[in-house]
């Protein structure tokens, strides 16, 4: 059994989607990232027992109870671990391509879209320069992903892979981005194909509170 310590965020959803896709038995342990008053500095991610398995105090983390309670932090590393363990969505022959698109998600797509959330969604009007910068970068990312998906069925080639699983929950925040997903035809085609997968629908609603995938 895999224990998933997480919260309802794009990085958290990557792992619940993967666990549903590979059909592993898992349980979700919710980590409250902020106090009742909304203070992040008082979240459960800073408890010493959590920091022992997640040194940067971030979700998601998994504990593999079938493998000597091996704990893995960083969503990309977790996807690789589960891909290797299940032999699914991480085809040996495609690994170089999958790794590129996975690393691009981890190092660029996620962090940039995350900044766009901070400036545009949570702190709109506070910093014009930051707001414009991350709006522009987000638009560029949509364009670049659209271009790739005009040439390729999925990010790393024909096969749906952990690179798609890592990227999907970030694009699922398109309603926060205000870029207009529907203007990016190839990205929309890919998004809708993934959005109808049963495992994705289930994994998206990881806390079982009726969370639905936003339509373009």
Note the residues at the interface with ligand GSH (CB under 6 A).
9, 11, 33, 40, 43, 45, 57-60, 74-75, 106
Both tokens of residue 84? Answer: 């290797």
CB 56 to ligand GSH: min, Å:
7
CB 39 to ligand GSH: min, Å:
11
CB 77 to ligand GSH: min, Å:
8
CA–CA separation, 160 and 89 (whole Å): 6
CB 50 to ligand GSH: min, Å:
10
Instruction: Considering the complex, state which of residue 73 and residue 190 has its C-beta at the smaller distance from ligand GSH.
Output: 73
Instruction: Considering the complex, state which of residue 56 and residue 151 has its C-beta at the smaller distance from ligand GSH.
Output: 56
Instruction: Considering the complex, state which of residue 50 and residue 184 has its C-beta at the smaller distance from ligand GSH.
Output: 50
Instruction: Considering the complex, state which of residue 45 and residue 138 has its C-beta at the smaller distance from ligand GSH.
Output: 45
Instruction: Considering the complex, state which of residue 3 and residue 74 has its C-beta at the smaller distance from ligand GSH.
Output: 74
CA–CA separation, 52 and 148 (whole Å): 39
CB 84 to ligand GSH: min, Å:
17
Both tokens of residue 177? Answer: 């981005």
Both tokens of residue 170? Answer: 């970030």
Instruction: Considering the complex, state which of residue 59 and residue 194 has its C-beta at the smaller distance from ligand GSH.
Output: 59
**b vs e for 102-117, b when ≥16 Cβ sit within 10 Å of the residue's Cβ?**
bebbbeebbebbebbb
Both tokens of residue 17? Answer: 């989607």
Within 8 A by CB and 6+ apart from 146, the residues are 184, 185, 186, 187
Both tokens of residue 71? Answer: 């704990």
Q: Is 199 helix (H, G, I), strand (E, B) or coil?
A: helix
CB 45 to ligand GSH: min, Å:
5
Is the bond preceding 60 in cis, omega lying within 30 degrees of 0?
yes
Q: What is the C-alpha end-to-end distance of the chain, expressed in Å?
A: 35
């Amino acid at each position: 059994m895999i224990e998933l310590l997480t919260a309802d965020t794009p990085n958290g959803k990557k792992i619940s989607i993967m666990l549903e896709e590979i059909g592993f038995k898992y349980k979700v342990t919710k980590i409250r990232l902020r106090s009742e008053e909304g203070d992040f500095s008082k979240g459960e991610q800073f408890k010493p027992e959590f920091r022992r398995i997640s040194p940067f105090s971030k979700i998601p983390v998994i504990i593999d109870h079938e493998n000597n309670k091996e704990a893995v932090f960083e969503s990309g590393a977790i996807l690789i671990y589960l891909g290797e363990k299940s032999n699914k969505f991480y085809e040996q022959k495609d690994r170089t391509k999958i790794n590129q698109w996975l690393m691009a998600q981890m190092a660029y797509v996620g962090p940039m879209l995350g900044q766009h959330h901070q400036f545009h969604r949570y702190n709109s009007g506070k910093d014009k320069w930051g707001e414009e910068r991350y709006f522009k970068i987000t638009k560029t990312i949509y364009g670049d992903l659209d271009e790739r998906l005009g040439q390729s069925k999925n990010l790393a080639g024909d096969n749906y892979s952990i690179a798609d699983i890592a990227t999907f929950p970030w694009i699922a925040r398109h309603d926060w981005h205000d870029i207009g997903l529907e203007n990016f035809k190839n990205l929309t085609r890919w998004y809708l194909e993934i959005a109808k997968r049963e495992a994705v629908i289930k994994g998206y609603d990881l806390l079982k509170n009726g969370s639905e995938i936003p339509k373009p």
